[in-house]
Amino acid sequence: MGNSILGVGIATVDVVHTLADYPREDEEIRSLSQQRCRGGNVANTLAILSALGHSVYFAGTVADDHHGEFILHDLNHRNINTRFSQYIKNSISPVSQVLLNTKTGSRTIIHSRDLPEFTYDDFCNINLDLFKWVHFEGRAINELEKILLFLEQEHTHIKVSIEIEKPRKGIEKLWRFGNILFISKNYATQCGYDNAAAILNKIQTQSNADAIVCAWGDKGATMLDSEGGEYYAPANHPQKVVDTLGAGDVFNAGVIHGCLKGEPYQQLLDGACFLAGKKCSISGLDFL
């Protein structure tokens, strides 16, 4: 078995406008600053895992435009190996416009995306002997289901984590896979839940995971293990919340890191909230 971590998902360009306050509709305002950063949930999680000392690889599709070059440059600069990525000719990189409200630290995101998804066939070209852990974004559900079945049947020693971030058609099919399931607050609230424990209890009835986790912004995070044990960690509140963009991705990296170190669930949940809170105190991901 290998020693590395593979992340399968998307890498984007985030154009972040830092604002004194959130605009009203039809208002014209000037931003305090504008910044172009590389985004994408899995790419962010890998960036943190790399900074924590892990050997990491990104697998996803990358466009052949100038944003694609920027994405690859950033990933490589962070020691994220991109050799298993797919380069799509004549394509356009996904871009997210992010409005960062310095008054509250909240981030409002508008995505645009027109890039083919990473497929089961792409995944089959990866040398899986390199990996001890694979982390997936819960997207392209039918392809991902085939990948997860393949891993379940052929690579039982590789640990798998899956992020369920948005309601997507058929995403419930993914609940039964993986060793760690990350359920986002966004997913929970869009499914009508108003707290982490409620959605975790629902999903646990259909999950085979060792643990399922739900982070809930400044309310911290909750985890259920397969024996019904429930764990809660409060958020680590920074003196000033500067930027919450990517806090969930950092949190996920913290959980994976703790699992790989063999930490008990309470300890790794505390550690993940500590990391995510630290991230909220600075702009961007370079806090380690």
The residues binding ligand ADP (CB under 6 A) are 105, 184-185, 215, 217-218, 220-221, 235-237, 241, 244, 247-248, 251, 273, 276-277, 280
- 155, 180 contact by CB (below 8 A): no
CB of 17 to ligand ADP, least distance (A): 18
Distance CA 166, CA 210 (A): 22
CB of 44 to ligand ADP, least distance (A): 9
Tell me whether residue 4 or residue 186 sits nearer to ligand ADP (CB atom): 186
Three-state SS across 190-259? HCCCCCHHHHHHHHHCCCCCCEEEEECHHHCEEEEECCCCEEEECCCCCCCCCCCCCHHHHHHHHHHHHH
CB of 110 to ligand ADP, least distance (A): 15
Take residue 189 and report the two structure tokens written for it. 């609230």
Can you say how many angstroms the Cα of residue 55 is from the centroid of all Cα atoms in its chain? 17
Torsion of CA 88, 12, 148, 81, to 10 degrees: 80
- Using CA atoms, how far residue 58 sits from 114, 150, 207, 229, 262, in Å, is 19, 19, 26, 33, 23
Tell me whether residue 38 or residue 185 sits nearer to ligand ADP (CB atom): 185
Tell me whether residue 6 or residue 48 sits nearer to ligand ADP (CB atom): 48
Which runs of consecutive H residues, i.e. helices, occur in 30-65? Answer: 41-51
Tell me whether residue 135 or residue 185 sits nearer to ligand ADP (CB atom): 185
CB of 199 to ligand ADP, least distance (A): 12
Phi and psi (nearest 5°) for 224? -120, 130
Phi and psi (nearest 5°) for 137? -85, 135
Tell me whether residue 13 or residue 158 sits nearer to ligand ADP (CB atom): 13
Distance CA 236, CA 80 (A): 27
CB of 263 to ligand ADP, least distance (A): 16
Whats the size of the chain, residue-wise?
A: 288
Tell me whether residue 36 or residue 237 sits nearer to ligand ADP (CB atom): 237
CB of 198 to ligand ADP, least distance (A): 15
CB of 227 to ligand ADP, least distance (A): 23
Tell me whether residue 93 or residue 252 sits nearer to ligand ADP (CB atom): 252
CB of 203 to ligand ADP, least distance (A): 16
Strands (E), the chain: 4-8, 12-19, 33-39, 56-59, 61-63, 80-81, 86-88, 95-101, 107-112, 131-137, 159-164, 180-183, 211-215, 221-225, 230-233
Q: Which residue is nearest to ligand ADP (CB)?
A: 248
Tell me whether residue 63 or residue 280 sits nearer to ligand ADP (CB atom): 280
